[in-house]
Amino acid sequence: MKLIAAVVIAVGAVASWAGWPSTRSAAASCPRQEEIKYEGSKSCQKCHFQEYGSWQKTKMAQAFKALKPKEALESKKKAGLDPEKDYTKEAKCVACHVTGYGKPGGYPAIVEGKEWTAAEKERAPLLEGVGCENCHGPGEKFSPFKKENKEYKWADIAKLGAVHPDEKTCASCHNKDSPTFKELDFKEAYGKDTHTIFKLKKDHACDHKHTEGK
């Protein structure tokens, strides 16, 4: 079951060749995204408090709650789902209702017969809902880099896992595998069903326009 859009875009891996001396340095400057840990949306709040506050009011933020019994009743009934059932333990449903499912630092994967560790149990509640990093990339590396380098360029943080959400970001969950699937108009949903898009003070040589925000 997939009700709310959320997904992480994979960052391209660096090609390797044993005889090429620059391979190691190139890989170090562009870590593969699966190696970068998720931090949780609360880690974004201090610097992006307006976006965070706006996001909290969205269905994306409440996506995990929709899996609980007696929640999202109308949507479940239309999809032929049992509104009395608890879907929070079903991996295929949970994957698109949490942040960084099964990824390092993300919401722990649900595996039959395997109990979560104490650390996984502790972080799981902090990653419920479709959070910032599902759309913008895991923040372990690019978030502290931005804080330490105020004049950073977009290309710098892109190497550290930062991504721009687009139609493909949404489509991994907003697709025909979802029991509540309906066509998504990305341009219509962006800034409306996500969080309000606020104008940035600097564009950081970004390849996306930020002047159209509020």
Name all domains of the chain by residue range, CATH numbers in brackets: 34-137+164-189 (1.10.1130.10)
More confident site: 26 or 148: 148
How high is the pLDDT of residue 104? 95
- For residue 10, name the pLDDT band (cuts at 50, 70, 90): very low
More confident residue, 164 or 31: 164
In the structure, what pLDDT confidence band is assigned to residue 18 with cuts at 50, 70 and 90? Answer: very low
pLDDT of residue 101: 96
The answer to whether residue 188 scores a pLDDT higher than 90 is: no
pTM: 0.76
11 has pLDDT over 90? no
User: For residue 2, what pLDDT is reported?
Assistant: 42
In this prediction, residues 156-161 reach a mean pLDDT of: 93
Which of the given ranges, 23-27, 84-88, 209-213, has the highest pLDDT on average?
84-88
Contact 133, 123 (CB under 8 A): no
pLDDT value at residue 51:
92
Q: Which two tokens stand for residue 208?
A: 């996306």
Percent of the chain with pLDDT over 90: 56
Residue 16 predicted with pLDDT over 70:
no
CA torsion through residues 176, 178, 181, 184, sign: negative
CA end-to-end span of the chain, whole Å? 34
| pLDDT at 31 > cutoff 60 | no
Query: Residue 75 has which token pair?
Result: 């949507």
- d(Cα 54, Cα 203) in Å, to the nearest integer? 21
| CA angle 205–211–214, rounded 5-degree value | 135
Residues 6 or more apart in contact with residue 32 via CB below 8 angstroms: 11, 13, 14
Tokens of 51: 């976006």
pLDDT for residue 37 is more than 50: yes
Higher pLDDT, 181 or 97: 97
CA angle 51–108–183, rounded 5-degree value: 55
Say which range, 55-59, 98-102, 138-142, 182-186, has the weakest mean pLDDT.
Answer: 182-186
pLDDT tens for 113-154 read 999 999 999 999 999 999 999 999 999 999 999 999 988 999
Residue 128 three-state SS:
strand
Residue 130 in tokens: 């479709």
The burial class, CB within 10 Å (0-12 / 13-18 / 19+), for 46 is exposed
Instruction: With a cut of 90, say whether residue 52 has pLDDT above it.
Output: yes
Specify the pLDDT at position 88: 97
Q: Which positions ≥6 away from 53 have C-beta within 8 Å?
A: none
110 versus 20: which is more confidently predicted? Answer: 110
